[in-house]
Structure 1
Amino acid sequence: MSLRLSTVILPYRRWNEGGRAAWNRAEELGFHAAYIYDHLSWRSFRDGPWFGAVPTLTAAAAVTQRMRLGTLVTSPNFRHPVTLAKELVSLDDISGGRITLGVGAGGTGFDATVLGQEPWTPRERADRFAEYVLLLDRLLTERSVSYEGDYYTAHEARNIPGCVQRPRLPFAVAATGPRGLKLAARYGQAWVTTGDPKLYETGTPEQSVQALRDQVEKLGKACADMGRDADAMDKMLLTGFTPDRGRPLGSLDAFVDFAGRHAELGFTDLVIHWPIPDSDFAADEKVFERIATESLAQLR
């Protein structure tokens, strides 16, 4: 059974007051990758400390050597493809080719209106996302890009020398609907899901597993329509948003059971949140570290 374990480190701590230590410890524990949310603020953390994703990843790249780094996820809500591409090329260079771009359509939270815009309709959000990913792909693979779209424009945008990773750094595309899955099949080296949000409050773990099975099957169909083998694509589950919530992090045995059920669905990567006291991501740090160092060995 091939399964990788990664973590998400939320940027709520000052770098010299626990921030740096978490990224260093994640590498020591052997996580495949450590990711960060790319928000300007987020839910219950909105009125507390919250630092930017790109500067934090830059600092993390400078103090780690092996672990992959990335966003889960970046969205069009407040980023433009031209400026984002320049930052991604720089990050990939600083990290020595360890960056993965998690990218999604974005939600309707604080980021959606922070620049003063009206909230986008679901249709407009999907349209923007499609153009956003298309243009990012071009910007990260071509030396000079000019583009006139419905939502984004680039005029002789240059990203020389390009990514360390060739032909570009990998995209992990977050999607559950037909249009998003089509984008994942076309542009993604990985696909990301958090499960079915409709099941979070009232669903059961069994219903969640079935919903995820359905999503994996739909991804497979989208890949087949593109003439692509879905088995060759990484499949990532960002945990903490299924009806299980934090229970899989309650014990090593609970996590091994959770991981095994989802590996059977075809997931190649599970991503768990670094413990945050007094939050939705609270967990016993000793149990968390045992999961990081021992769980995958029990699944082999």
Structure 2
Amino acid sequence: MRLSTVILPIHRWAEGQKNWRRAEELGFHAAYTYDHLSWRTFRDGPWFGAVPTLTAAAAVTDRMRLGTLVTSPNFRHPVTLAKELITLDDISGGRVTLGIGSGGNGFDATALGQQAWTPRERADRFGEFLPLLDRLLTEGAVSHTGTHYSAGEARNIPGCVQRPRLPFAVAATGPRGLGLAARHGQAWVTTGDPKLFEKGTPQQSVQALRGQMERLGMACADIGRSVAELDKILLTGFTPDRGTPLESVDAFVDFAGRHQELGFTEIAVHWPIPDSDFAADQAVFEQIATEASGQLA
């Protein structure tokens, strides 16, 4: 099982770059960041853009993969996003993974002055956004006229360093999203069942994740694809156990082992942020990074 981290873009780069450098030193498989304009309890504090942050991170790291967890159509367009991703993939030497989902109804949903989309509208837009982005990253010139997104001979030469394009990690739990993950994804991402966050139990969470994994398998079978072809990523911090896995190496190994048995191949943990939902002991966090992987097959 691979261990990755999520570094929120809340620090000016003079300070923030230290975390990205340290993440590589600690041996994390990947370091991701949120692609939001602001987020929840961090809304009134510093928050920087995902793509510029990842570009800077690419310049101060050499081996670690980089990516978003996750990008969404809330304030993105496939044509401009494709150009940015191709550039970032080039600068990083082919180390970028795009985590992408349909988005939510948080701050990003109305930041451009629009009304928040309904769940059905988000699913409709995502269903058009992702296939078009796939084409834009794999074809030299793309024209498309859709209900929500269009492209007029959009050029993306020379394309991604990674071929045929950089990998998609598709965040999804519903049938339409899982279908997109099966068809376009190289990985699948989940945070668990949000209905269990407040009052659920760890056991209920495991059961819910097992159900999601089974539905992903069915979505893959529907198109004749083996679910084994997809990596399965669990973004932690949103299940009923919350910060418990970061209390000790043993606690993390126990947590990761339970989810490895479900079929997860990668776990992403948040870089500690004091006095926040992601508070954790930095020394324990670093001990987990260096010691836990060796205890997991």
Query: TM-score of the superposition, structure 2-length normalised?
Result: 1.00
3-state SS of paired residue (1:264): helix
1:11-70 superposed Cα distances (whole Å, 9 cap, x missing partner): 0011102x0000000000000000000000000100000000000000000110000000
Runs of 4+ displaced beyond 3 Å = none
User: Which residue of 2 is the match for residue 200 of structure 1?
Assistant: 197
Once residues 57 and 206 of structure 1 are traced to their aligned partners in structure 2, the CA distance between those partners, rounded to angstroms, is 36
Amino acid aligned to 2:225: R
2:96 is matched with which residue: 94, 99, 105? 99
1:145 is matched with which residue: 142, 145, 167? 142
1:248 is matched with which residue: 240, 245, 248? 245
Structure 1 unaligned regions, length at least 5: none
Q: Do residues 59 (structure 1) and 59 (structure 2) align?
A: no
Q: Do residues 265 (structure 1) and 262 (structure 2) align?
A: yes
Once residues 187 and 29 of structure 1 are traced to their aligned partners in structure 2, the CA distance between those partners, rounded to angstroms, is 31
Once residues 295 and 116 of structure 2 are traced to their aligned partners in structure 1, the CA distance between those partners, rounded to angstroms, is 46
Q: Do residues 8 (structure 1) and 22 (structure 2) align?
A: no
The alpha carbon displacement at 1:122 in A equals 1.1
Once residues 66 and 299 of structure 1 are traced to their aligned partners in structure 2, the CA distance between those partners, rounded to angstroms, is 22
Once residues 225 and 48 of structure 1 are traced to their aligned partners in structure 2, the CA distance between those partners, rounded to angstroms, is 45
Once residues 233 and 44 of structure 1 are traced to their aligned partners in structure 2, the CA distance between those partners, rounded to angstroms, is 33
User: Which residue of 2 is the match for residue 135 of structure 1?
Assistant: 132
The alpha carbon displacement at 1:299 in A equals 2.0
1:239 is matched with which residue: 236, 249, 254? 236
Q: Do residues 164 (structure 1) and 164 (structure 2) align?
A: no
Q: Count residues in correspondence.
A: 297
2:109 is matched with which residue: 112, 115, 131? 112
The alpha carbon displacement at 1:121 in A equals 1.2
CA RMSD of aligned residues (A): 0.5
Once residues 169 and 296 of structure 1 are traced to their aligned partners in structure 2, the CA distance between those partners, rounded to angstroms, is 25
1:81 is matched with which residue: 72, 78, 103? 78
Once residues 163 and 12 of structure 1 are traced to their aligned partners in structure 2, the CA distance between those partners, rounded to angstroms, is 28
1:219-261 superposed Cα distances (whole Å, 9 cap, x missing partner): 0000000100001210000000000000110111100000000
Once residues 75 and 125 of structure 1 are traced to their aligned partners in structure 2, the CA distance between those partners, rounded to angstroms, is 9
The alpha carbon displacement at 1:296 in A equals 1.3
Q: Do residues 68 (structure 1) and 65 (structure 2) align?
A: yes
Amino acid aligned to 2:122: R
User: Which residue of 2 is the match for residue 215 of structure 1?
Assistant: 212
3-state SS of paired residue (2:207): helix
The alpha carbon displacement at 1:99 in A equals 0.3
1:122-181 superposed Cα distances (whole Å, 9 cap, x missing partner): 111100001010100000000000000000010000000000000000000000000000
3-state SS of paired residue (2:170): strand
Structure 2 unaligned regions, length at least 5: none
